[in-house]
């Protein structure tokens, strides 16, 4: 597998080596030794989550605060998404900047999102299965987020806004500056 840092510090794209033959394919989804060697980060994933969504569903932009902040390793098992992470670390040189990447079941890439980042994705095809590991447990009282259409971020989600399917909770998130 190859691991490349994005222009956002400590945020990495992981591309596996996929072995294909007449039976199908095989690849490692995670190798702690390689990850630690390439990134200098020693993750301790404690929770795995999975969702299934249809075309146009937008989930995010979410993060947890304080002692419940989470790093995530995200991937698509089936289908495709436009995955977006936003640096919300106030001391960071890239505070308020975002990185986006299409994750799908063809390239099998993953995105490592460090603590201090908001995360969201929009689903690009029906019946997409999205999976992610977290290095901290979910805590309802520390959840926070940023509105998906924050003008300061100006994220191009790739789908017309009128076709997006967004929860009422996500529609009520504040802007980054708030």
Residue 98 is a catalytic residue: no
CA torsion, points 167, 150, 110, 162, in degrees to nearest 10?
50
Indicate the SS3 state at residue 164.
Answer: coil
Beta bridge partners of 48: 133
Q: Which of 108, 112, 119, 132 is catalytic?
A: 132
| Maximum CA extent, the chain | 53
Distance separating alpha carbons of residues 145 and 58, to the nearest angstrom: 13
CB atoms within 10 A of CB 107: 14
Distance separating alpha carbons of residues 85 and 108, to the nearest angstrom: 18
55: DSSP letter? T
Q: Which of 62, 98, 108, 112 is catalytic?
A: 62
Residue 132 is a catalytic residue: yes
Alpha helices (runs of H) in the chain, residue ranges in sequence order: 32-39, 168-171
Cβ atoms of 111 and 85 closer than 8 Å: yes
Q: Which residues carry out catalysis?
A: 62, 132
């Amino acid at each position: 597998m190859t691991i490349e840092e994005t222009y956002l510090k400590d945020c990495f794209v992981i591309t596996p080596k996929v072995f294909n033959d007449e039976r199908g394919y095989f690849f490692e989804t995670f190798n702690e030794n390689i990850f630690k060697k390439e990134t200098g980060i020693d993750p301790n994933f404690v929770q795995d989550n999975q969702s299934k969504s249809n075309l146009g569903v937008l989930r995010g932009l979410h993060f947890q605060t304080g002692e419940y902040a989470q790093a995530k390793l995200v991937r698509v098992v089936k289908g495709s998404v436009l995955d977006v992470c936003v640096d919300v670390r106030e001391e960071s040189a890239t505070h308020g900047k975002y990185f986006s990447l299409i994750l799908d079941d063809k390239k099998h890439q993953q995105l490592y999102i460090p603590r201090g980042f908001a995360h969201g994705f929009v689903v690009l095809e029906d019946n997409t299965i999205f999976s992610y590991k977290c290095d901290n447990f979910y805590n309802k009282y520390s959840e926070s987020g940023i509105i998906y259409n924050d003008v300061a971020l100006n994220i191009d989600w790739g789908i017309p806004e009128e076709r997006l399917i967004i929860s009422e909770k996500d529609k009520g998130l504040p802007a980054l500056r708030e």
